[in-house]
Every structure is written in C-alpha cells, then in structure tokens.
Structure 1
Amino acid sequence: MAIWNLGSINADMVYAMPHLPAAGETLAALRLDRFLGGKGANMSVAATRAGSKVHHIGAVGPDGAWAVARLQAYGAGTGHIAQVETPTGHAIIAVEPGGENQIILFPGANRVLDRDRLDQALTQADAGDILVMQNETSLQAEAAQLGRQLGLRVCYAAAPFDAEAVQAVLPYLDFLILNEVEAQQLQQATGDTPGEIGVKDVIVTLGAKGARHIDGETGAVLEIPALPVAAVDTTGAGDTFTGYVLSALDRGLPMAEAMTQASRAAALMVTRRGTADVIPDLQEVQTARF
C-alpha cells in the first residue's frame, strides 16, 4: 500500500525568541534556523520515517529545488511535485523557551497546483491506498472527490482551520484529524459533534492531554494519553502525529496501536527544535524511554 499526500511544501524560518512578541513590539531573536516545513512536507517525512511508501503531490517555485531534494533524501516520492513561477511557500515561526509558537504563513506555490497534475498522480494510486490533505494547498475538494471515486481511504487534517474548507471535503472523507479547538469550531459551524458528522474515523488531538478517537459508526471512544516530556518546540508535532498514525494504519496496525505509536513520535518531536528535518524515525520512536 502507499500514502498519497496532497501537501504543502514550505521553507520554515524558525526564530528562537525570549518570549512571543506582543502587538507593536520589536524583539530581537536569539537564533535563526531554516528547515524544510509545511504541514504537507512534515506529514510526508513523518510517514516515510515511520515506514510507509509516500508520494508527495505539490508545487514549489523557482527557489524550491532544495526542498524537493530534501524530501527526496528523506525517501518521499517527488515525481508529482511541480515547479511553478510563484515563489515557494514559507513560514516565519517565532518560538519561546517553553515551546509555544506564533506562525506567519505565505502559501505561495502551494495554492497554484493545477488539476492535471493532481489527476496524473492519483490515477496511479491503487484502491485502498491512503490519500491525505491539509488546508494549505489548492484542489482539496477535487482531490477528496477523486480519491473517493478511485477507492482510496480519504483523510483530512483540518489545519489551518477553515469551516468552509472542511465542509467541502466532509462528504468524501473516511478519516478526519483535528485538534480540540478545531473540533469545537467545526461543531459550531455544522451543529454536529465530531461523532455525528458522518466520518468513519475521527481523531481529536488534545495536546498535553493526549488524543481521542471516535468511531463514527459505533460511537465508541478511545482515549490515548500523552507522554510527559519537557517541550522545547511544539512546531510540527501535530503533523508528526498525523503522519505516524496514517503510516501505522497503512502498515495494518489497529487504531489503538497506531495512535500510541504516533503519540510517542509527537512526544519526541516536541523535545527538538525544528520541523521536518528533526522528525524521529521508527526505530527512535520504538526504543525511546519516557
């Protein structure tokens, strides 16, 4: 099986700050690092490092060859990444000593992927493969609909959250992942709880409280606790969790085991500074002591 990821590709400019800046405040950074990032690239790297075959569908600008090379070096398939005239997406990320962050996102090339590229990619997928998307690219609803038609397991990570974007893909979803705040926002928009929206599998991530799986068919709820760690940077932790969950399911693990493995990966991730470049591999996740 394989994972097909319609995902963003960004340059993450990460600034270590003494505290998060307030409105109107000029604040000197303590350090600057550049990482491969974007929710899509993070998930592709996480799923690849977790042991799955991943095909990334996306776009970069003339300045993005380094990002494609980095994805390829980590083992992700890059044959469906287009080069366009729009600059590569990037994020400006401020991180304070406790690990909390603020992010300014420039979508760039991620929002100009064309339908032909998407169709060429997904028609090579096999029924039962996983398709995952996030709200950082164009063609999300079109991809979800095509994925359903092709018999793929269609998954959506509902971030950055937009109620209209989520509702556009809901009819085609098999799997939805969102955080606690996003779950509340979706319920306000639809009037339905996560277990009532008609999606077979829903995971609500709860930060330091862990994660919750809701079976949309039976209503059964599974709670997976978070692991106690000293966080230094929470950027990319949710993407790492998602990539690991999908990889585990792709490899045939049951949901409880998949979420437990993903929780371990996310716990390791928050102890590191950076995004895609510091996502742990499966051996690290399996042998880590908490």
Structure 2
Amino acid sequence: MAVYNFGSVNIDHVYTLPHLPAPGETLGATSHTVGLGGKGVNQSVAAAKAGSQVWHIGAIGVRDGWVRERMEGYGVDCTCLREVAGDTGHAMICVDAAGENSIVIAAGANVNQDRDFVLSAIGRAGAGDTLLLQNETDLQPDAAAAALAKGMRVIYSAAPFSVGAVRAVLPHVTMLVMNAVEAEQLCTATGMDLDRIPVPEVLVTLGAKGAMWRSNRTGEEIEVAAPRVTPVDTTAAGDTFIGYVAAGLDLGMPIRAAMEWAGRAAALKVTRHGTADAIPSAADVRDFRVSPS
C-alpha cells in the first residue's frame, strides 16, 4: 500500500515574536528561520516519517532544488514533483511566546498545476492506496475524482477553509478532515450538522482536547484525548496528525489506534519549533512519554 499526496509545497519563513502583531504594530523578531512547509509537504513528511511509502504530487519553482532534496531526505518520493517557471509557494509564519501562530501564504507554483501531469501521477496508484488533499492547490476535484474511481481512500483537509472548495470536492471524498472552527463554518454554511454532511467519514481535530471521528454510514463515533504537553509552536500540528492518521490506516491500523498514534505525534510536534523539519519520526513517537489529558 502507499500514500499519494497531491499537495502544496511551501518555503516557510518563521519569525518568533513576544506576541502576535496588532494592526499597525511593528515588532522585532527574536529569531528567524527558513524551512520546509506547506500543508501538503507537512502531511507527506509526517506520513513518510510514520513509515508509509509516500509519493508527493505537486509543483515547485525551478530555482528551489533544495526543497526536493530535503523532502527526499525525509523519505518522500518526489518523482511526481514538477518544476515550473516562477516561485515556489511560501509562507510567513509568526509564532508567539505561547506557541500560537499567524500565517500569510503566497501560493506560487501550488496553483500552477498541470491536470494531465496530476492525473498521470495518480494513475500510478492502486485500489486501496490513499490520496491526501488540502485546499492549497488547484485541481483538487479532478484529482479526488480520479482517485475515487481507482478505489483509493481519499482524505481531504478542508484547510484553508472555503465552503465552495469543500462543495466541489466532497462528492469524491471518503474522509473529510477539519478542525473545530472549520467544522462549525461548514455546518453554518450548509445548514447541516456533521452527521448529515454527505461524506462517509468525518474527522474533526480539537487541538488540546484531542479529536473526534464519525462514520456517517453507521453512526459510530470515536473520541480520543490529546496528551498533555507544554506547546512552544502549534504550527503543523494538524498536518502531523493527519499524516500519521493516513499512515496508520495505510499500514492497517483501525481508526482509533491511528488517531491515538497521530495524537501522540502531534503532541510531540508542538513541543518543537518549526514545521516539516520538526515533525517527529515513528521512533520519536514510540519513545515519547506523556500523561493523557
């Protein structure tokens, strides 16, 4: 089995600040780092570090070969990562003393995808493989439809949230993933509770409270608690969780076990500064000793 991720690739500029800036306020950063990120890359790196075979489908600028090299160093297969004229996507991430963040994204190559290239890449997959998607690229409905037609598991992160994007891709999704705010936005926009959203499975991340999964086919619900930690940087915690859930399912875990494993990985991630480069390995998660909340 394998995980395919049609996802964003960003170069992250991370600024550590005493607090997040207010409108009109200028702050001096206490540190600045440049690293690998984007929801797509974060999820690919998480799934690869968890132990799945991961193929990343996407695009970067021709000048940023180091991005490919770093992804491959984390175990991500970048055969299907296309180089295009122009810039790789990038993000400006501000992180305050409590670990909360504020993020500005420039899409760059992430919205310069080629439909034939993407569909050809998905054509490599087989029935039972997993496709991950997020809202930081174009062509999501095309990719999801092709994957579902092949009998793949299609896990879609509705972030950054757009009700139009969700509606377009939802018919081709097997698991819809949102955080609590996104779930509330979707329910408000559609006038439907989660149990009426037309998708087989819903997974809602709840931050420090853990996560909730629901089967809209059977009505079964599962809740898992999050380990108690002191966060220093919450950036990429959700992506770490999703990547580990995808890997867990790909490796044959039941959903509860995959969620509990992913919760430990996300908890460990928030104790580290950074995004993709800070995502823990399966060995790190195994050795992580925490108390349940």
Provide the TM-score with structure 1 as the length reference. Answer: 0.99
Give the corresponding residue for 2:153.
Answer: 153
Give the corresponding residue for 1:172.
Answer: 172
Give the corresponding residue for 1:116.
Answer: 116
Aligned residue runs from structure 1 range 44-123, under 5 A: 44-123=44-123
Q: Please report the RMSD computed on the Cα atoms of aligned residues, expressed in angstroms.
A: 0.7
Q: Distance in 2 between matches of 1:119 and 1:39?
A: 20
Deviation of 1:98 (Å): 0.3
Does structure 1 residue 240 correspond to structure 2 residue 240? yes
Deviation of 1:155 (Å): 1.1
Deviation of 1:86 (Å): 2.1
Give the corresponding residue for 2:31.
Answer: 31
Deviation of 1:151 (Å): 1.2
Q: Distance in 2 between matches of 1:279 and 1:72?
A: 15
Q: Distance in 2 between matches of 1:12 and 1:63?
A: 16
Q: Distance in 2 between matches of 1:122 and 1:71?
A: 19
Deviation of 1:191 (Å): 1.6
Deviation of 1:105 (Å): 0.3
More divergent stretch after superposition (206-215 vs 186-195): 186-195
1:75-117 deviations in whole A, cap 9, x for unaligned?
1110101111120000000000100010010000000010111
Amino acid at match of 2:167: Q
Q: Distance in 1 between matches of 2:86 and 2:147?
A: 27
Structure 1 stretches lacking a partner, 5+ long? none
Give the corresponding residue for 2:205.
Answer: 205
Does structure 1 residue 135 correspond to structure 2 residue 135? yes
Amino acid at match of 2:22: A
Q: Distance in 2 between matches of 1:88 and 1:15?
A: 19
Q: Distance in 2 between matches of 1:69 and 1:213?
A: 35
Q: Please give the secondary structure, in 2, of the residue aligned with 1:264.
A: helix
Q: Please give the secondary structure, in 1, of the residue aligned with 2:80.
A: strand
Deviation of 1:240 (Å): 0.1
Q: Please give the secondary structure, in 2, of the residue aligned with 1:52.
A: coil
More divergent stretch after superposition (86-95 vs 187-196): 187-196
Structure 2 stretches lacking a partner, 5+ long? none
Amino acid at match of 2:73: A
Q: Distance in 2 between matches of 1:195 and 1:73?
A: 41
Deviation of 1:225 (Å): 0.6
Count how many residue pairs are aligned between Structure 1 and Structure 2.
290
Q: Distance in 2 between matches of 1:244 and 1:195?
A: 24
Q: Please give the secondary structure, in 1, of the residue aligned with 2:78.
A: strand
Deviation of 1:148 (Å): 1.2
Q: Distance in 1 between matches of 2:214 and 2:135?
A: 22
Q: Please give the secondary structure, in 2, of the residue aligned with 1:110.
A: helix
Q: Please give the secondary structure, in 2, of the residue aligned with 1:238.
A: helix
Amino acid at match of 1:128: G
Deviation of 1:69 (Å): 0.8
Q: Distance in 2 between matches of 1:76 and 1:147?
A: 19
1:119-159 deviations in whole A, cap 9, x for unaligned?
11011111110011000011101101111111111110110
Q: Please give the secondary structure, in 2, of the residue aligned with 1:79.
A: coil
Deviation of 1:198 (Å): 2.2
Q: Distance in 2 between matches of 1:242 and 1:124?
A: 22
Amino acid at match of 1:22: A
Structure 1: which 4+ aligned runs deviate by more than 4 Å? none
Amino acid at match of 1:230: T
Provide the TM-score with structure 2 as the length reference. Answer: 0.98
Q: Distance in 1 between matches of 2:138 and 2:153?
A: 19
